[in-house]
């Protein structure tokens, strides 16, 4: 169970998201990073299983909403839009707006190393939160949360999210900036689970993205550039 100070933080989070959990254990699990459970074996669970569920719930809600709003879009366009809404950078952005990192329970090492702002942690926590809402309240509150805190937050930036590299290049050309240049700044992990860190430079601006491939990392870097510059 969370301490009193953390319980207060979760209560504030419930107010921000507009949903009060009937079963607090779902919320506690969604906000528990695996590093906390590793350091505290007595913790009943972490957010990995809820993240798995939330990823599927998010996919369903995104497909339903995009099909409704973009009635003339073909399958390929809808797939691209759905991928953009569910991308790591997009979900981390939505999670940051909710200040989700402040409510995460993490191990000391993860917390000390900036885990509350880490994109992957924010993405995982947001997906876990969606999964927790689904289990606690079902489709209706999960859809309401998605609409207010993900779709309405991210969809206005749709052009940049759906094709960030193309949007960034077009912006640079129109504003007389240098063509975006991408370079790998770090590559780590075993062969079956590589992690790439790429920096995109536009004029004097630099933005960093991470991913399981160079292409994915470039996309995430471009998303950050678009969100900042446009």
Given the residues 14, 55, 147, 199, the one annotated as active site: 55
Of the candidates 88, 90, 111, 86, the one whose C-alpha atom is nearest the C-alpha of residue 101 is 111
Q: Report the C-alpha gap between 219 and 166 in whole angstroms.
A: 10
55 is catalytic: yes
Cβ neighbours, 10 Å, residue 189: 10
Q: Report the C-alpha gap between 182 and 221 in whole angstroms.
A: 9
DSSP tag of 104 = -
| Length reported for the chain | 230
The answer to whether 165 touches 179, Cβ cutoff 8 Å, is: no
Given the residues 28, 127, 218, 223, the one annotated as active site: 127
Buried b (16+ CB within 10 A) or exposed e, 2-24: beeeeeebbeebeeebebebeeb
Catalytic residues: 55, 127
């Amino acid at each position: 169970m969370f301490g009193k100070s953390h319980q207060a933080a979760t209560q504030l989070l419930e107010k921000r998201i507009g949903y009060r959990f009937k079963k607090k254990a779902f919320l506690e699990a969604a906000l528990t990073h695996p590093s906390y459970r590793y350091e505290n074996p007595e913790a009943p669970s972490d957010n990995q299983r809820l993240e798995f569920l939330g990823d599927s719930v998010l996919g369903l809600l995104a497909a339903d909403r995009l099909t409704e709003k973009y009635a003339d879009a073909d399958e390929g366009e809808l797939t691209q839009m759905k991928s953009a809404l569910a991308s790591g950078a997009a979900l981390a952005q939505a999670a940051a707006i909710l200040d989700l990192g402040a409510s995460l329970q993490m191990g000391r090492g993860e917390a000390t190393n900036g885990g509350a702002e880490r994109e992957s942690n924010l993405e995982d926590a947001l997906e876990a939160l969606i999964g927790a809402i689904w289990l606690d309240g079902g489709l209706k509150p999960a859809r309401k949360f998605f609409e207010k805190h993900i779709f309405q937050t991210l969809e206005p930036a749709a052009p940049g999210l759906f094709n960030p590299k193309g949007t960034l290049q077009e912006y640079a050309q129109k504003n007389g900036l240098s063509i975006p240049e991408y370079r790998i700044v770090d590559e780590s992990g075993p062969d079956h689970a590589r992690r790439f860190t790429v920096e995109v430079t536009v004029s004097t601006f630099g933005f960093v993205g991470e991913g399981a491939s160079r292409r994915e990392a470039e996309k995430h870097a471009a998303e950050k550039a678009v969100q900042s510059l446009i």
